[in-house]
Amino acid sequence: MAYNQNKVRQLGDILANHERLSINIVIEKYERALHELFSTPAKSTSHINVCQHVFGYFSKDLTKAEKVHFFELLNQYRHQKIPLSSVLGILHSWCHRFENDYLLNQTYFEPYPVGLIAISDSGKGRALS
């Protein structure tokens, strides 16, 4: 969804296999479409859309202050003041808090194995002024 919503729909159509194609052809079409999907990086506006979509799962269970805080974070991300991980961290915590297994199973929150994660955006190793 963060990369290209139209391509995601196309992937779903391929998997639905309405044409009753052989599994090998389905895999070939899916792989080609997946490569096209990941050929360009996701835009920040797409990430914002996904975050708002996830927020919708919890909006009626959150306090006014939590909602305000979330949208402040989202606005800071929009203006490149904080990394996406800051926004995802709060959303992921709400997935656990509200025990949303559907969202907890999404790789969007943990796209990389922990061993591959760099801490370059965390400020570690920089001297304090």
Based on the domain organization, do 73 and 109 belong to the same domain? yes
Residue 125 lies in a domain: no
What residues make up the domain containing 54? 44-116
CA angle 47, 56, 38 (to 5 degrees): 25
Residue 3's pLDDT is 80
Residue 57's pLDDT is 97
Residue 101 lies in a domain: yes
Q: How many structural domains does the chain have?
A: 2
Distance CA 114, CA 127 (A): 25
Distance CA 59, CA 53 (A): 10
Based on the domain organization, do 17 and 55 belong to the same domain? no
Highest averaged pLDDT of the listed ranges 16-20, 39-43, 69-73, 118-122: 69-73
Based on the domain organization, do 32 and 58 belong to the same domain? no
Residue 119's pLDDT is 65
Based on the domain organization, do 30 and 61 belong to the same domain? no
Q: What is the pTM of this model?
A: 0.73
Based on the domain organization, do 52 and 29 belong to the same domain? no
Based on the domain organization, do 13 and 50 belong to the same domain? no
